[in-house]
């Protein structure tokens, strides 16, 4: 029996090693084009490995769009970029019916949303009717055209960018749509060494293009492996308490936060936080989740789900500061 167990372990180990090599291969391929932005790349990998969507926020010039397109090219998946503008129509995203004079019939012309990876560039520039069409695709993973419901491909993830400092010609994203994004990733300025490397690459680089290093089938295998990452009962309870504290801080002796939170995170946040923590542990090379994994990914999962009061705005309290206070005040059971 011991020999059989040893044989089973020796069979499974190369598979796990190979899976982490595939993750490292994606990182390395993206790094050939993108300098730094390791946190952004890892969080995009989390979205990919959990089959969810991500919203990327940062000022212009931080390579948000380039990072997404580079990641997409490192995958053997279809990729589409949609530049959101105020005059965009739902049909420009989902597709429409086209009349064919040859046979006198209407035929479905599929829009760019029928791709594995969809880059929604400057997503907050499109009006509500376009956001509603995209919301169906994000949640149901289907599109309705001419009374017919069409399935979107698998995997399917929307990676959207938005500029936080420009408000002219933009529309706030509906709360229901924000809740469909697993994470809101805030992109920071690079460090000095990274900026020197960016400058050198721009002046002296040869414009390397990423190659596809992983197939759809391998992505599905990685996703199954992420689902098997152990999340014990104590950490599940911790996640529930964090989300609960965002709604009822006084129940966790965080009365000082009550004046600042109008609406807390939904139950979907608990599911996303658990899934994201599993993927975070997986790309770190572990098959179990630690409290540090939950704390590391919690700001990305929770920041866009908290609706703060006017008092919070008046006192300069941000969603990230509220999440930090929640992580400090909610203990691990």
The mean-pLDDT minimum among 27-31, 106-110, 206-210 falls in 206-210
CA distance readout (Å), 18 to 11, 28, 65: 12, 15, 29
Per-residue pLDDT at 11 exceeds 60: no
pLDDT band at 38 (very low <50, low <70, confident <90, very high): confident
- Residues 82-97 pLDDT 10s: 888 888 888 888 888 7
Dist CA 145 CA 130 (whole Å): 14
Dist CA 249 CA 264 (whole Å): 9
Per-residue pLDDT at 8 exceeds 80: no
- Residues 244-261 pLDDT 10s: 999 888 887 888 888 888
Per-residue pLDDT at 224 exceeds 80: yes
Contact of 301 with 182, CB cutoff 8 Å: yes
Q: Which two tokens stand for residue 274?
A: 């658990």
Section 129-158 average pLDDT: 84
CA distance readout (Å), 287 to 52, 166, 231, 274, 277: 20, 42, 9, 14, 11
pLDDT, residue 306, reads 86
pLDDT band at 53 (very low <50, low <70, confident <90, very high): very high
Per-residue pLDDT at 72 exceeds 70: yes
pLDDT, residue 206, reads 63
For residue 92, report the phi and psi dihedrals to the nearest 5 degrees: -70, -20
From 300, 325, 308, 328, select the one nearest 54 (Cα to Cα). Answer: 300
pTM value is 0.84
**Domains of the chain: residue spans and CATH:** 13-221 (3.40.50.300), 229-329 (1.10.8.80)
pLDDT, residue 331, reads 82
From 317, 174, 331, select the one nearest 259 (Cα to Cα). Answer: 317
Cα atoms found within 13 Å of the Cα of residue 304, Cβ hemisphere only: 27
pLDDT, residue 242, reads 92
Section 152-170 average pLDDT: 82
pLDDT band at 205 (very low <50, low <70, confident <90, very high): low
Per-residue pLDDT at 13 exceeds 70: no
- Looking at the chain, list the stretches that DSSP marks H as alpha helix, in order from N- to C-terminal side: 2-31, 38-50, 64-73, 90-94, 128-140, 175-178, 192-204, 216-227, 233-247, 267-283, 291-302, 310-314, 319-329
- Residues 97-142 pLDDT 10s: 777 777 777 777 888 889 888 998 888 888 888 888 888 888 888 8
Contact of 137 with 152, CB cutoff 8 Å: yes
């Amino acid at each position: 029996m011991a020999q059989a167990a040893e044989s089973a372990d020796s069979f499974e180990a190369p598979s796990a090693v190979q899976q982490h090599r595939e993750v490292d291969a994606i990182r390395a391929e993206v790094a050939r084009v993108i300098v730094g932005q390791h946190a952004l790349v890892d969080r995009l990998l989390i979205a990919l490995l959990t089959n969810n969507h991500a919203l990327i926020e940062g000022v212009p010039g931080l390579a948000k769009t380039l990072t997404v397109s580079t990641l997409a090219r490192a995958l053997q998946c279809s990729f589409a970029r949609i530049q959101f503008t105020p005059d965009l129509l739902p049909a420009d995203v989902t597709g429409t019916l086209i009349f064919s004079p040859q046979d006198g019939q209407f035929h479905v012309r599929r829009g760019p949303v029928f791709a594995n990876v969809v880059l929604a560039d400057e997503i907050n520039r499109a009006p509500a009717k376009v956001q509603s069409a995209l919301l169906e695709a994000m949640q149901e993973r289907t599109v309705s055209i001419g009374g017919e419901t069409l399935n979107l491909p698998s995997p399917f993830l929307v990676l959207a960018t938005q500029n936080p400092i420009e408000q002219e010609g933009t529309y706030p994203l509906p709360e229901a749509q924000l809740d469909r994004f697993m994470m809101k990733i805030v992109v920071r300025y690079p460090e000095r060494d990274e900026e020197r490397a960016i400058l050198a690459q721009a002046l002296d680089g040869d414009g390397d293009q990423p190659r596809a290093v992983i197939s759809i089938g391998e992505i599905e295998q990685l996703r199954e492996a992420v689902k098997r990452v152990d999340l014990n009962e104590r950490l599940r309870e911790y996640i529930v308490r964090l989300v609960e504290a965002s709604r009822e801080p006084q129940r966790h002796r965080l009365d000082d936060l009550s004046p600042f939170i109008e609406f807390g995170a939904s139950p979907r946040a608990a599911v996303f936080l658990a899934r994201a923590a599993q993927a975070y542990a997986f790309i770190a090379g572990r098959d179990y989740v630690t409290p540090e994994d939950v704390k590391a990914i919690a700001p990305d999962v929770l920041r866009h789900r908290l609706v703060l009061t006017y008092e919070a705005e008046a006192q300069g309290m941000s969603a990230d500061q509220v999440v930090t206070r929640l992580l400090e005040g909610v203990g691990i059971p």
